[in-house]
């Protein structure tokens, strides 16, 4: 995962499309988190949690999930696979 990647974030067996805006640790819970700006207003925040801003997006478009709940969006996955093949051939 990297900032700017388009992903599907899976929450409660529902996939939501968005863009990675934050990667790292937070003040609200231990461990690594992925901050996602969702395409639709299905989120829980605007990139701010407990008075700390991690990224900026529209209200209800922000969501934090664990890295294991993130899957590359199909076009992004193909792009990454093609880049890996190019790297291996070099």
pLDDT of residue 52: 98
**What pLDDT band is residue 86 in, cutting at 50, 70 and 90?**
confident
Q: What is the mean pLDDT of residues 56-74?
A: 94
Residue 85, pLDDT above cutoff 80: no
Alpha carbon 81 to chain centroid distance?
Answer: 19
pTM of this prediction? 0.83
């Amino acid at each position: 995962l990297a900032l700017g990647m388009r992903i599907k974030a899976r929450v409660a067996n529902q996939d939501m499309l968005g863009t990675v805006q934050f990667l790292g640790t937070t003040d609200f819970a231990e461990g690594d988190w992925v901050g996602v700006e969702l395409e639709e207003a299905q989120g829980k925040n605007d990139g701010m949690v407990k008075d700390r801003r991690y990224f900026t997006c529209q209200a209800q478009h922000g969501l934090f999930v664990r890295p294991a709940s993130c899957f590359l969006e199909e076009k992004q996955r193909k792009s990454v696979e093609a880049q890996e093949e190019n790297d291996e051939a070099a």
